[in-house]
Amino acid sequence: MSVNSTIPALKIAWTPRSRMLVCSLAVGEPHISCMRWMAPTARYYAERHRMDHLLLPLYHTGLDPSRPTAWSKVIVLNHMLKLYDTVIWLDADTIIVNPGVDIRSELDPLVPMHMVAHRLGRKTIPNTGVWVCHNDPRTFELLEAVWNHTELVHDGWWEQAALMDLIGYEPRGRVCRFRKPTPFTPYVRFLDEKWNSRYTAPASETYILHYSGPDKPLADMERKYKTFIRRIAKL
């Protein structure tokens, strides 16, 4: 990890109880409303698979007031990875619908980051809504590069746009096509879409559903939560 990190520290007292953390952060009432349905599923998943969980609702501002709130996830990941072997970030507008499978069974220990890339026609969109990171020097290197990619600080895809650009995908103009490999391209491995399934076009098998986009259909999240409760009652 970089000893001269430009990423702000997360001011939190925390003692790990396991080797992996599930974390999320919600800023403002719309995302906190999502987290009310998401959080119980994340807590159950973490406890079922012997992981810690950290779910932070913030009502007013993100962890760095100088940046859009989405950048807070970089701060959380960078800080908590100093304490854990693996950290999985879940956006507040995701919800776990099938908690039976431990995501670690699908991670490559030799690749520092894992996420889903959504494929929409000719577009490929690596999505940081579900972002799994190993405690690895390459992870800290890429997080640092993402944070310092200031050209895209205010892009509407925020840290996701920065990461896409750094691993060789064009976020500008939402072209979303692979240009060419970069030094960071091998740092990311793409997971099956079931780990970050778009609610508008869900995968045939879904483990984590993602309500990405500006509209947050809370009624549908509530229905998925109730289905989740019925599912775990049978496990």
Q: Which domains, from first to last, does the chain contain?
A: 20-136+188-234 (3.90.550.10)
Mean per-residue pLDDT, 31-41: 97
- Residue bearing tokens 């396991």: 18
- Given a cut of 50, is residue 2 above it in pLDDT? no
Which two tokens mark 66?
A: 């100088």
How high is the pLDDT of residue 234? 82
Residue 59 backbone phi and psi in degrees, to 5: -85, -20
Residue % of the chain over a pLDDT of 70 = 99
The model's pLDDT over 7-20, given as tens digits with 9 standing for 90+, comes to 999 999 999 999 99
Average of per-residue pLDDT values in the chain: 96
- Given a cut of 80, is residue 180 above it in pLDDT? yes
Q: Residue 143 is inside which H or E element, if any?
A: helix 137-147
The model's pLDDT over 85-122, given as tens digits with 9 standing for 90+, comes to 999 999 999 999 999 999 999 999 999 999 999 999 99
